[in-house]
Amino acid sequence: QDHADRRRHDRVADDGAARVDGARRGERAHLIDARDALLSVRREVGGRAVGRGAWIHTDSAFVADEVREAFAVDPARVIPIHLGPPTPAAPGDPAAGARLAGADRYVLFVGTVEPRKDLPLLVRAFDRVAAEDRSLRLVLAGPDGWGADALTEALGRARHAARVRRLGWVSDEDR
């Protein structure tokens, strides 16, 4: 199955004159992930730059791998530059964090649950470490995304799932 059919973000063409990926009025059209967005840019503008050996910056190693796979480009010229979390306005309260986590010692993941973040791997790694350290917990903070089912399945197989806490979205007050 084509990659474009696997991961889609819906967008609707709003009038009969506008065409988004060939959509007619009211039909669903799709703006695909970063690789496909880059393909569109490449056709219009980026093709000349990529052809001249431009460097391509992505926001993750996952997307960098997709770009390397999608384009005939020197893999060394595709560089992931990871996004960092915003600087908190005020330092958090460690005691409040421990209460929210349910433990004094924990590994914390913050972000939307998505396949590119490979949370099932994090759960498997935690399971190995947790066997040696009974005081350690895994805390997952952030909303479910389109990778939530795989995470739920991984937690169902984990020996130490009782020591994993899924907080979901965390408010600014609790951060």
Question: Which tens digit of pLDDT belongs to each residue from 100-122?
Answer: 889 999 999 999 999 989 999 99
Q: What is the pLDDT of residue 41?
A: 56
Q: How far apart are CA 25 and CA 13, in angstroms?
A: 6
pTM over 0.85: no
Q: What is the pLDDT of residue 40?
A: 63
Residue 24 pLDDT > 50: no
Radius of gyration of the chain (CA): 21
Buried b (16+ CB within 10 A) or exposed e, 91-128: eeeeeebeebbebeebbebeeebbbebbbbebbeebbe
